[in-house]
Amino acid sequence: MKLLQWSTALLLIFITFSPGVTADIRPPNTAETQLISTLTSVKCVGAFTETDSLVWRQSNEALDVNLNRMENYPLPVEEGKGDWIYDEQLDDFIYVGPGNGNYILPYPNYPLFASVLLEEPEPPLAPDEVQITSSTRENTLADHGKTVYAKRSLVDTNWKTANMYNVNQEKMVGFSGMDTGKITSDESALIDSVGMTISIEEQKLWYCPLNCYTQKCLPPFCNVVETGSSLDMKEVQFTTSIKSRNIAEIANEGDEGLNIFKTMPVIDGPPTELAYTIGVNGISPVTPARGAVEAYIRVHAMEGAEQCPSPCGGQRLDLVYREKTTAAGYIEAFQKNMHYTSGIRCAGFSA
């Protein structure tokens, strides 16, 4: 009697990051929001492919440019090199033509005293600006075998409460290959958040009046987390899940008295979150999966000093974490759960 032998890889790993008092501050939703939802269900014998990707960038100001408002106020120059003069009797500036005055307008194509919106390239970001990038990717190829594939995907650009997510993807796959058949699948998810010093004077950005943070501003930050998996299998049944929260609620539409010219987010709401789960089993309780699988998480979190000037306040936190788990051969069970959160620990929300 010949005995079948196999190795077992069972991993239950939960990883949670809360980078101190300061953390990711997410941009709020825009006035117009989008909802994208897909459901895929396939059962076939032969070849099967699935390719999808998401790249989502959002700012509370503008992407790739800094916006600044300047008043078109006349500037003094040498006599005869300007085109405006100041009339003391009228208490006003008078246009006299090129070479006839001693004042010029810094923005001659705009009216006198007009508010001029300037666009300057990034980086760096503008004060009080935060940006976040959320992305997901999947490439699955199955050939010479029987494939059962089901996936549900949802992307919602509106802000979410603590029990809801902006990106939610779940899939379940079964594959049994013929002589030369196999399935390969690569999947990843990322959140990249960055922000400059954020003014929080007069408590106008707090959701709860009983907030726990007494500083007048939040320091700059730059945090990146990536997680995912890959597998190459002859026979397998596996599931994966991606959940992420990257949009905050609007707190302030712009208060010029505070020098805020951009939409500001609630900063003590639900934290930024990215969760990834993969589970690998055989196609029956007594049959192991055959092949190789790996899953990983990579985190780099950087925070500024609490003195708040940006970037002159210096760096307060530099955290790097990397982990990868692999298994190959006859795999009875492979389970890995990875979870990243980053936010203000305040007002009942725990980062």
Contact call for residues 288 and 180 (beta carbons, < 8 A): no
Same domain assignment for residues 198 and 247:
yes
Say if 193 falls within a structural domain: yes
Give, for all 351 residues of the chain, the pLDDT tens digit.
333 344 455 555 454 544 444 578 899 999 899 999 999 999 999 999 999 999 999 999 889 988 888 889 999 999 889 999 999 888 999 999 888 899 999 999 899 998 888 888 888 888 888 999 999 999 999 999 999 999 999 999 999 998 999 999 999 999 999 989 999 999 999 999 999 877 776 557 777 766 666 667 788 899 999 999 999 999 999 999 999 999 999 887 655 544 556 788 888 888 999 999 999 999 988 899 999 999 999 999 998 876 666 566 678 889 999 999 999 999 999 999 999 999 876 544 444
Per residue in 162-201, pLDDT (tens digit) is: 899 999 999 999 999 998 999 999 999 999 999 987 777 6
List, in order, residues 6 or more apart from 32 with CB less than 8 Å away: none
Same domain assignment for residues 136 and 268:
yes
The DSSP string of 4-49 is P--B------------SS----PPBPPSS--EEEEEEEEEEEEEEE
List, in order, residues 6 or more apart from 298 with CB less than 8 Å away: 224, 225, 226, 227, 321, 322, 323
Say if 179 falls within a structural domain: yes
**Which of 113, 144, 177 is the last residue in one of the domains?**
113
Same domain assignment for residues 163 and 105:
no
Full domain range(s) for residue 287: 35-69+126-342
CA distance 182 to 192: 34
Tell me how many domains the chain contains.
2
Same domain assignment for residues 251 and 155:
yes
Q: How many CA atoms lie within 13 A of 133 on its CB side?
A: 14
Q: How many CA atoms lie within 13 A of 46 on its CB side?
A: 4
Report the chain's C-alpha Rg in angstroms.
28
Same domain assignment for residues 235 and 106:
no
Question: Which of 242, 202, 212 has its CA nearest to residue 225?
Answer: 242
Same domain assignment for residues 273 and 161:
yes
Say if 347 falls within a structural domain: no
Helix (H) or strand (E) segment spanning residue 226: strand 221-245
Say if 349 falls within a structural domain: no
Same domain assignment for residues 132 and 84:
no
CA distance 107 to 73: 9
Same domain assignment for residues 233 and 169:
yes
Same domain assignment for residues 246 and 200:
yes
pLDDT reported for residue 291: 96
Same domain assignment for residues 140 and 185:
yes
Say if 252 falls within a structural domain: yes
List, in order, residues 6 or more apart from 43 with CB less than 8 Å away: 147, 148, 149
DSSP three-state, residue 299: strand
Same domain assignment for residues 59 and 94:
no
Joined together, the tokens standing for residue 35 give: 């909802």
Same domain assignment for residues 105 and 251:
no
Say if 335 falls within a structural domain: yes
Say if 1 falls within a structural domain: no
Say if 28 falls within a structural domain: no
